[in-house]
């Protein structure tokens, strides 16, 4: 704010307005990243216990096994656009997908608000902190999600959790050394 202190009021208001609009865009992007993660969670919770590939194989409808196109895979929006049904067999898609996607979108936004991440505070440390949040959040959602489905703690997810924990500890030690 002090940066603009000596500016004429109109100009100050202009920058303030521009900042607010840019922050709204910033949070929309964060929300979109969050729902993309959410979409990955639903897929991973379904596939990891079945030992299926989570990155390469194409998604398909669990009912008619039709391969899904790019348009069917846009988180939240494709669900709304298709009216909650599979494009090919018209089988109803469980609303829990869209709920999970929206919830993770909201969690991503809430955490950004919590650490006051916005276009003015975008530093490397903050971004790294945010990335760690995304990685740990992914770990918790996958662990709980898979436990919920299979009543077992997933080994690959636990290994993933351990790896990010080690990286996080190393990063904290690195930060301490830098100060
Ligand atoms: Zn289908």
Report residue 133's pLDDT band, with 50, 70 and 90 as the boundaries: very high
CA dihedral 159, 161, 126, 175 (to 10 degrees): -70
The answer to whether 129 and 137 have CB atoms below 8 angstroms apart is no
Average pLDDT over residues 121-129: 92
Nearest-angstrom CA–CA distance, 69 and 87 = 10
Domains of the chain: total? 1
Helix (H, G, I), strand (E, B) or coil at 60: strand
What is the whole-number distance in angstroms between the Cα of residue 66 and the centre of ligand 1?
6
Bridge partners for 85 per DSSP: 92
* pLDDT value at 165 more than 60: yes
* pLDDT value at 6 more than 70: no
What is the whole-number distance in angstroms between the Cα of residue 141 and the centre of ligand 1?
26
> Residue 15's pLDDT is what?
80
- Range from 20-24, 51-55, 174-178 that averages highest in pLDDT: 20-24
Average pLDDT value for the chain: 88
Average pLDDT over residues 168-173: 95
Question: For 97-119, how does the pLDDT look when each residue is reduced to its tens digit (9 = 90+)?
Answer: 888 899 999 999 999 999 999 98
Nearest-angstrom CA–CA distance, 118 and 42 = 28
Average pLDDT over residues 87-95: 86
Bridge partners for 60 per DSSP: 67
Average pLDDT over residues 33-42: 91
Q: Which domain holds residue 38?
A: 2-178
- Range from 17-31, 32-46, 64-78, 159-173 that averages highest in pLDDT: 159-173
* pLDDT value at 10 more than 90: no
Helix (H, G, I), strand (E, B) or coil at 85: strand
What is the whole-number distance in angstroms between the Cα of residue 65 and the centre of ligand 1?
6
* pLDDT value at 159 more than 60: yes
User: Quick one: 104 exposed, middle or buried, by C-beta within 10 A (0-12, 13-18, 19+)?
Assistant: buried
Report residue 73's pLDDT band, with 50, 70 and 90 as the boundaries: confident
What is the whole-number distance in angstroms between the Cα of residue 67 and the centre of ligand 1?
9
Higher-pLDDT residue of 4 and 47 is: 47
Contacts of 33 (CB under 8 A, 6+ apart): 108
What is the whole-number distance in angstroms between the Cα of residue 58 and the centre of ligand 1?
14
> Residue 58's pLDDT is what?
75
What is the whole-number distance in angstroms between the Cα of residue 91 and the centre of ligand 1?
6
What is the whole-number distance in angstroms between the Cα of residue 143 and the centre of ligand 1?
27
Helix (H, G, I), strand (E, B) or coil at 83: coil
Higher-pLDDT residue of 161 and 12 is: 161
């Amino acid at each position: 704010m002090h940066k603009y202190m000596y500016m004429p009021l109109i100009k100050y208001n202009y920058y303030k307005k521009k900042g607010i609009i840019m922050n709204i865009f910033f949070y929309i992007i964060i929300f979109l990243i969050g729902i993309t993660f959410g979409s990955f969670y639903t897929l991973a919770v379904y596939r990891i216990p079945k030992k299926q590939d989570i990155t390469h194989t194409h998604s398909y409808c669990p009912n008619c096994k039709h391969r899904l196109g790019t348009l069917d895979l846009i988180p939240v929006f494709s669900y709304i656009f298709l009216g909650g049904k599979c494009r090919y067999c018209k089988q109803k898609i469980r609303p829990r997908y869209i709920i999970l996607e929206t919830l993770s979108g909201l969690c991503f936004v809430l955490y950004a608000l919590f650490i006051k991440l916005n276009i003015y505070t975008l530093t490397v440390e903050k971004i790294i902190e945010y990335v760690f949040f995304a990685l740990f959040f992914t770990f918790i959602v996958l662990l709980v999600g898979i436990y919920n489905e299979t009543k077992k703690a997933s080994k690959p997810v636990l290994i993933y959790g351990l790896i990010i924990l080690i990286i996080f500890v190393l990063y904290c030690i690195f930060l301490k050394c830098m100060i």
